[in-house]
């Protein structure tokens, strides 16, 4: 894989964002559609990860087997064009911002898995199982054991796949911003998609601010991923529209819901640092705060809609670019005096 | 740090690849349970109902089929009412023994 692949991958990345958002907006939520989107993102991210791995190996070889004399070493180090052409700038994408966001996401996934492995069982749900069991017994079918039922794995995959897509897209946005000449162009595409999806969500929402007062305050461990429909039918959760955050509280507990805010906190602190550190960062910082605010509003106050995946995908990718601390206004000029 | 993060990203990409294949080609238990319920409705065999219950006992369509005369009938009635409010189709079969 060479540099041409990387330059083309930028356009594939932008096209994939447009394709994913279109598919999410025009088709109803289904496992198949999520699978297709996941497959395309997996292919692109695997290709880019391998390309970056190759760059890492190249860099390690360069530094290990460098037997050149010091002047030649210095000259090679000064050759910015060489570093750029070898794609070494893209290695900056493996930075602490990505690490913070990934660790935050990992905490949330761990809490959600814990809740799903050992969920709180709502008492009427247990009685319902007994009721079904009793009915099957009256029909002469004694083999029914409710413990046989194990739905955790497929449901967990359906919940984790979108999170992984968002995480990888977050990282890829950085790789292109650091390494490609037209990297910043992606930001315009992402903000365009973000605005369209947000307007569509507002257009289709019946209430712009839903009632979020009914959230259990003591439910630290949740009922498990994918159970909100059951809880609503049984009366454990309000039988009205719920926000994404409320659903997380019921499914993953307060611990999971609070941990899910960690990546947003990390992004907020990075943006704050950028704005306070340098005046030139104020416009991109404010834009980042606006994106974060819209994401928070949609998460807390809008009724959950599967189309929100498009908002999260484009929003987090745009945030990734806006979190980058730009070093502007200073350029090192190397000159050799003979 | 670069190597650790790079390795983590490769692992994520592989997880996503496998997940996508599972999402595309493997039906989840709720879908399988609904299929068994469809079989039950067309063939009237209780063993199909058994399969549906074993796969997904929390399938609301299944609860709606459990008769009122069973224990906890109040709960079953609440579920049925909730399903009807959500626009579920009225039950075509009476399976009360």
Q: What is the DSSP string of A135-167?
A: HHHHTT-----GGG---HHHHHHHHHHHHHHHH
Q: State percent of chain A over pLDDT 70.
A: 84
Considering only CB atoms, A36 lies closest to which of B2, B24, B46, namely: B24
B12·A45 Cβ contact <8 A = yes
Nearest to residue A167, comparing CAs of B7, B13, B17? B13
Q: What phi, psi does A303 have (nearest 5°)? A: -65, 140
Over 60: is that where the pLDDT of B73 sits?
no
Considering only CB atoms, B5 lies closest to which of A37, A99, A149, namely: A99
CA distance B41 to chain A (A): 16
Considering only CB atoms, B16 lies closest to which of A41, A129, A171, namely: A41
ipTM of the complex in this document: 0.81
Rounded-to-integer distance, Cα A43 and Cα A248, Å: 29
Nearest to residue A303, comparing CAs of A207, A189, A231? A207
pLDDT, residue A177, reads 87
Nearest to residue A8, comparing CAs of A47, A53, A59, A49? A47
For residue B82 the two structure tokens come to 């909730």
Rounded-to-integer distance, Cα A273 and Cα A287, Å: 14
CA distance B38 to chain A (A): 17
Nearest to residue A183, comparing CAs of A3, A14, A1, A43? A14
Q: What phi, psi does A195 have (nearest 5°)? A: -65, -45
For residue A18 the two structure tokens come to 């447009």
Comparison of pLDDT for A140 and A281, the residue scoring more: A281
* Non-local CB neighbours of A274 within 8 Å, separated by 6+ positions: A281, A284, A285, A288, A323, A325
pLDDT, residue A241, reads 85
Q: Quick: pLDDT tens for A55-107.
A: 888 877 777 767 778 887 777 777 766 666 667 777 787 888 888 899 999 99
Tokens 């429909």 sit on residue? A229
pLDDT, residue A163, reads 95
Over 80: is that where the pLDDT of A333 sits?
no
A15, A190 in Cβ contact below 8 A? Answer: no
> Residue range A141-145: average pLDDT?
57
Over 60: is that where the pLDDT of B96 sits?
no
Over 60: is that where the pLDDT of B57 sits?
yes
A161·B97 Cβ contact <8 A = no
b/e per residue A247-257 (b: at least 16 CB within 10 A): bbbbbbbbbbb
Using pLDDT thresholds of 50, 70 and 90, give the confidence band for residue B90: very low
> Residue range A253-258: average pLDDT?
91
Comparison of pLDDT for A72 and A10, the residue scoring more: A10
Q: How far is CA B7 from the centre of its chain?
A: 36
A243, A301 in Cβ contact below 8 A? Answer: yes
pLDDT, residue A328, reads 53
Using pLDDT thresholds of 50, 70 and 90, give the confidence band for residue A267: very high
Rounded-to-integer distance, Cα A104 and Cα A223, Å: 21
Length of chain B: 97
> Residue range A124-146: average pLDDT?
65
Q: How far is CA A163 from the centre of its chain?
A: 5
Q: State percent of chain A over pLDDT 90.
A: 38
Confidence (pTM) = 0.82
> Residue range A283-312: average pLDDT?
93
A128·B63 Cβ contact <8 A = yes
């Amino acid at each position: 894989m060479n540099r041409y692949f990387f330059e083309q991958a930028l356009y594939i990345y932008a096209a994939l964002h447009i394709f994913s958002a279109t598919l999410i907006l025009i088709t109803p939520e289904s496992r198949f559609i999520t699978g297709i989107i996941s497959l395309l993102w997996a292919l692109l991210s695997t290709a880019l990860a391998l390309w970056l791995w190759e760059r890492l190996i190249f860099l390690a070889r360069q530094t290990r087997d460098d037997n050149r004399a010091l002047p030649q070493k210095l000259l090679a180090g000064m050759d910015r064009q060489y570093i750029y052409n070898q794609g070494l700038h893209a290695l900056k994408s493996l930075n602490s911002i990505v690490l913070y966001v990934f660790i935050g996401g990992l905490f949330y996934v761990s809490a959600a898995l814990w809740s799903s492995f050992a969920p709180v069982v709502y008492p009427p749900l247990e009685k319902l199982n007994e009721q079904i069991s009793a009915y099957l017994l009256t029909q002469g079918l004694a083999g029914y054991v409710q413990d046989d039922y194990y739905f955790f794995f497929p449901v967990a995959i359906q919940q984790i796949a979108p999170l992984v897509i968002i995480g990888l897209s977050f990282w890829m946005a950085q790789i292109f911003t650091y390494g490609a000449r037209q990297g910043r162009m992606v930001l315009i595409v992402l903000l365009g998609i973000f605005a369209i999806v947000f307007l569509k969500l507002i257009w289709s929402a019946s209430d712009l601010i839903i009632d979020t007062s009914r959230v259990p305050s003591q439910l630290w461990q949740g009922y498990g991923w994918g159970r909100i429909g059951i809880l609503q039918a049984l009366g454990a959760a309000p039988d009205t529209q719920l926000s994404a955050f409320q659903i997380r509280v019921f499914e993953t507990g307060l611990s999971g819901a609070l941990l899910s805010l960690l990546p947003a906190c990390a992004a907020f602190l990075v943006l704050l640092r950028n704005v306070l550190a340098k005046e030139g960062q104020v416009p991109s910082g404010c834009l980042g705060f606006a994106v974060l605010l819209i994401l928070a509003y949609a998460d807390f106050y809008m009724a959950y809609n599967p189309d929100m995946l498009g908002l999260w995908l484009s929003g987090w990718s745009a945030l990734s670019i806006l979190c980058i601390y730009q070093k502007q206004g200073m350029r090192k000029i190397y000159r050799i005096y003979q | 740090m670069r190597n650790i993060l790079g390795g983590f990203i490769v692992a994520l990409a592989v997880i996503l690849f496998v997940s996508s294949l599972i999402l595309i080609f493997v039906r989840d238990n709720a879908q399988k349970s609904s299929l068994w319920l469809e079989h039950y409705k067309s063939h009237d065999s209780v063993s199909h109902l058994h399969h549906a219950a074993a796969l997904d006992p929390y399938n609301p369509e299944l609860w709606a089929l459990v008769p009122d005369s069973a224990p906890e009938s109040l709960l079953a009635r609440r579920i049925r009412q909730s399903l009807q409010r959500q626009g579920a189709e009225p039950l075509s079969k009476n399976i009360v023994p």
